[in-house]
Amino acid sequence: MMKFKPNQTRTYDGEGFKRRAACLCFKNEKEDEVLLVSSSRHPDQWIVPGGGMEPEEEPCGAAVREVFEEAGVKGKLGRLLGIFEHNQDRKHRTYVYILIVTETLDDWEDSVNIGRKRKWFKVDEAIKVLQSHKPVHAEYLRRLTNTCNPTCGPVCNPTNGNSPSSQVTDNNAPHYVVCSTQGSDLVNR
């Protein structure tokens, strides 16, 4: 299913969830400093960069595209942290990946068009900042400690967003972990 907006097409999965992708962008493999961007709706609040997937777009490609548009960074795409479902006001299903930043642009699409800002935060500080405005984004960072080590890698080439496989392999965990923001139960798929 698709819904059209003036500047984007919203895509939904078979269960009616809006298909989204995001990245936790880290300065290095230590994963101790994360990049947040200012919200387009509330410029004084911080969020994790991410957004809706386009039709036929793989989750890993959408995540890389959204980070480039919203945060003006490129990097090495790492493991899939999880698939987070948000059910309260809007049904969203967000694929959240780890990205190690290797390139930072001075000017990028959202900085030029809407004045979006970005800022590095220590993980604990980022959780506190996100908790009041976007608690589901804070949950992404809380899940960080419960996933595999940073050396896990993807089976995905997000260069064009249409790669044949978006599964991230990890010998110690299921391929997909659905994380509900309504509780802490995990469902293996």
pLDDT in tens, 113-147: 999 999 999 999 999 999 988 999 999 999 986 65
Residue 72 lies in a domain: yes
Query: Does any domain span residue 42?
Result: yes
Residue 86 near residue 72, CB atoms below 8 Å: no
Q: What is the pLDDT of residues 50-61, one digit of tens each?
A: 999 999 899 999
Which position among 69, 70, 85, 109 bears the catalytic label?
Answer: 69
Residue 4: inside a domain, yes or no?
Answer: no
Tell me the average pLDDT across 73-90.
Answer: 88
Evaluate whether residue 187 is within a structural domain. no
Per DSSP (E only), the strands in 87-167 are 92-104, 118-122
Mean pLDDT of the chain: 78
Phi and psi at residue 181, to the nearest 5°:
-80, 0
Answer yes or no: 139 catalytic. Answer: no
Query: Can you give the pLDDT at residue 8?
Result: 61
Q: Is residue 156 part of a domain?
A: no
Q: What are phi and psi of 15, to 5 degrees?
A: -100, 5
For residue 89, the domain's CATH number is: 3.90.79.10
pLDDT of residue 147: 56
- In 3D space, the residue among 136, 168, 172, 140 whose CA is nearest the CA of residue 153 turns out to be 168
Give residues with Cβ within 8 angstroms of 181, minimum separation 6: 84, 85, 86, 87, 88, 135, 136, 139
pLDDT of 92 above 80: yes
Q: Residue 128 is part of which domain span?
A: 18-148
Residue 22: inside a domain = yes
pTM here is 0.76
80's tokens: 């899939």
Whether the Cβ atoms of residue 42 and residue 129 lie closer than 8 Å to each other: no
CB atoms within 10 A of CB 54: 19
Examine the pLDDT at 102 and tell me if it is beyond 60.
yes
Name residue 79's beta-bridge partners. Answer: none
> Is residue 93 domain-resident?
yes
The total number of structural domains that make up the chain: 1
Residue 94 lies in a domain: yes
Rounded distance, CA 97 to CA 59, Å? Answer: 9
Angle (CA) 74 154 3, round 5° = 70
Q: For residue range 14-50, list pLDDT tens digits in order.
A: 888 899 999 999 999 999 999 999 999 999 999 999 9
Residue 8 vs residue 53, higher pLDDT: 53
Burial 83-114 (b: 16+ CB within 10 A, else e): bbbbeeeeebbbbbbbbbbeeeeeebebbeee
